[in-house]
Structure 1
């Protein structure tokens, strides 16, 4: 069993103890260099990465209660073993967002509750694969520090994170103690090109988005602080070289953004490539593939999408939910008394392909060791998520949530309103209008099958987790009409600008704008004019003076700039997540301890008790729409399922084209005329 990460009880110890492992590695380095390899010696190392597994261990979709060969560590594990068999030297890392994101993760954290003598199922699985090191992702903090420490204590491999520190409250950055070891240097024995053993001291350093302090404020405030990724890289990488690291591998849970550098940037992998002595970057967080089509047009920024390098540094990002294994093949040569990377090739290995009939074809069989390790937890999770406790009188889906008011959002916003109206009774907030914000969490971000689809009838917890996939906490903000309008202007960045009187096909949805930032605000009515330019970029930067949101009314009357409202949302948005203008923790007037998802479950249960025969009617109230635009041909993508196409018949302005794109999405037309 490995040495555990720092527990909260040990966080006040000295940094000398924290770096004991690194010091011992430094001693080993000095010993290993007594003889040393001869100049010109070469060897190859294969780096393997998993990231953003989000507790998807088996090839199973708990929302549909069906096998799903597009996800699961059980598939990635088979690729890992194959990749190892092909070469002599390998290293395997995980890049976080591991503990949260599927009903299995929720069940262990919230229902079964992990006990001190129990091993978390993600580590039951991962301990069969001999990981070398793992990095902490932002979602690791969703269930609190105590749970995080108890869970990671079960890993047979060390954790690192270089930019999260214990909050000691003294405002002195010089004595801050890292929550986890910021980096490790491991002595590895590799076989060189002449079949001789060589000792290489491999340094690993990990990072997490500093925005954890916003996204998980309730869990982290007063306990930890997060610092800038690049600043911490510049601090620790020279120390790693001084302590004998021959090569340094950065593991940032951080995406790739070539925009100008800013302090505390969320996606900093591009600028990590400019930090001296980093030899490879195994990154994640963005749920994207690198090398991949999203980055094909960035050669002017030093990105080689064929070779998989960023400013000459080898890099890879292997998607999400286990759908790819990231691979970097590094070539090293020993010259001038040091090992140097002389070549590299990055690649992605997929666990599935889609055939000409849009059918998923698994590329590997399930890994038997992983499957056996977690089957009991899987069966318990299935039993829990399938227990019915409520009813709905009509289907709920998110197929058209980006182009139409939608039942999957409506049921969430109605539940939030119901909860808030109850808790403000008898307070100074009673009497203020209550609005409710919700977003489509499952609207194709995870692929052509990533849509909510719930039949009429019984509702189980898997259905609630389908509607609200994050363990967010409900918060209520006090805002005026002007601030609400800007909130909606930011949300309207979901759409591309549509050119008027242009009969050419125009794509409506902006693929760079995440659907979880497309907030619909219920309780008011409004229209969105996509002939106007977006007012804000996906990062919340004001990019035009155009106004897309118009006809903004409350109870049939135009909303004034000064009019006050309560707006129900979640801790992510209320604390600044998504970079919405004027939205921050200073606007919070109700700091609820209740999860949004539990509020939805409670609402469904109560409505069922009122109407025991049919349950809740989830129909959308159609409080928003698009402003009419003449003579345009607008298209968007959604599910290719028969159910989606059938549902489209309810709307005269949505028509399937019977065409699909390369990613398996169906193309639909949207009539804005």
Structure 2
């Protein structure tokens, strides 16, 4: 360190959501009830508080899997031409700085994803594409900030951002991606992107890793967060996702192989926060200290009306669709032993799935093939008596219809 370049400090706060899965409010569409502490309209208040209490610069990222996961997401995809998608509006209202992609964001096809990306002010980033492209998605991103240092000087800071996801996405969404997009392994994609960001002049690098932590030293092509942290040099903070866990745990480490790390759960229930203490010398910036934590909405965190209003049209369309009568039966059904053995509710759901598929493939080269429906139990018994059991059956029947939805063609390709 030269005498002309005194040592100084600055603070950078990184906020992150992940695996929101279209929980834009706390409304559980299938059960028609609100879940406390869930939804982007509630988390918006938490985000505002975290920003307002930051000591220095603050960035907000999303780590993917935002388009799919609730009937609201399916409705937005099914009626894309006449229902404005709320997610881009929410991203814009909350001033996200960058968005990473998750595997489920391809569930409605590339054209639908491209239209959603086009409506977001925040750049969308994904470095996992080995070939092919998604319009509007870039592999790396540089964010310019000016930060006030402990010596009173204001200095420029360049934050590099990239994103990776499981390569199995190409298999899980093969009907959309085969012949169009090939995906690279997580570690190799991360290494390539970090090298590029370093060459582009990034002072600090944030990795949006839509993958679980896994374990360093073990080969896990789907959950490679720990492996990236151990093998890819130059990453200063890592946001994890995909497995819906919460990290750090209460008594757990706040880093992953030395890299500050958070995984902000699922369904907009938690906000991830990494605070970096940055040191500056005449040779540039480095991380001098860090803290990682999860912020859960408290009693004071009420839904932000402006965000709830953005979600209202899509929620109304979803309610209208789910209120339609699908079928009637005079027979009694229950799910008392649903997790132990198949029963009449499973048979009903399987028959509904087969009927929907048979109607859609009629007259095609698939029409003569045998149809087999696989039904997984989702509930057993009922904590609130028979009314709950009846509701559970209704929910499962509707879920079965949504699972068949992807076979129905639309002007935008096939549904999820």
TM range (shorter): 0.7 to 0.9
The corresponding residue for 1:394 is 332
* Post-superposition CA distance 1:70-128 (Å, at most 9, x none): 32001111100000111132110001111111111111111x2246xx75211112211
Q: Distance in 1 between matches of 2:320 and 2:357?
A: 31
From 80, 95, 103, give the equivalent of 2:47: 80
Which structure 2 residues correspond to residues 552-567 of structure 1 after superposition, within 5 A?
Answer: none
Q: Distance in 2 between matches of 1:261 and 1:146?
A: 36
Deviation of 1:456 (Å): 6.9
Q: Distance in 1 between matches of 2:16 and 2:134?
A: 28
1:161 aligns to 2:98 (yes or no): no
The corresponding residue for 1:455 is 390
The corresponding residue for 2:19 is 52
Deviation of 1:193 (Å): 3.0
The corresponding residue for 2:112 is 147
Q: Distance in 2 between matches of 1:100 and 1:329?
A: 30
From 237, 256, 260, give the equivalent of 1:314: 260
Q: Under a length normalisation based on structure 2, what TM-score does the superposition of the two structures give?
A: 0.85
* Post-superposition CA distance 1:40-80 (Å, at most 9, x none): 21111111001111111112111111222232001111100
From 186, 192, 210, give the equivalent of 1:229: 186
Deviation of 1:256 (Å): 1.3
Which structure 2 residues correspond to residues 61-80 of structure 1 after superposition, within 5 A?
Answer: 61-80=28-47
The corresponding residue for 1:348 is 294
Deviation of 1:179 (Å): 7.7
Deviation of 1:396 (Å): 5.3
| Residue pair 1:91, 1:131 contacting (<8 A) in 2 also | yes
Secondary structure of the 1:78 match is: helix
Q: Mind listing any 5+ residue stretches in structure 1 that lack a counterpart?
A: 1-36, 168-175, 297-304, 353-361, 475-592, 598-673
Which structure 2 residues correspond to residues 574-613 of structure 1 after superposition, within 5 A?
Answer: none
The corresponding residue for 2:164 is 207
Higher relative contact order (CA 8 A, sep 6+): 2
1:368 aligns to 2:336 (yes or no): no
For the aligned residue pairs, the C-alpha RMSD in angstroms reads 3.4
Q: Distance in 2 between matches of 1:75 and 1:81?
A: 10
Structure with larger Rg: 1
1:246 aligns to 2:184 (yes or no): no
Q: Distance in 2 between matches of 1:350 and 1:82?
A: 11
From 73, 82, 91, give the equivalent of 1:126: 91
Q: Mind listing any 5+ residue stretches in structure 2 that lack a counterpart?
A: 408-412
Q: Distance in 1 between matches of 2:291 and 2:95?
A: 23
Q: Under a length normalisation based on structure 1, what TM-score does the superposition of the two structures give?
A: 0.54
Q: Distance in 1 between matches of 2:365 and 2:308?
A: 52
Q: CA separation of 1:152/1:453 partners in 2, compared to 1, >3 Å: closer, same or farther?
A: farther
Q: Distance in 2 between matches of 1:132 and 1:321?
A: 20
Q: CA separation of 1:108/1:314 partners in 2, compared to 1, >3 Å: closer, same or farther?
A: same
Q: CA separation of 1:229/1:80 partners in 2, compared to 1, >3 Å: closer, same or farther?
A: same
Which structure 2 residues correspond to residues 244-323 of structure 1 after superposition, within 5 A?
Answer: 244-258=201-215, 260-262=217-219, 265-274=221-230, 275-292=232-249, 305-306=252-253, 308-323=254-269
Secondary structure of the 1:437 match is: coil
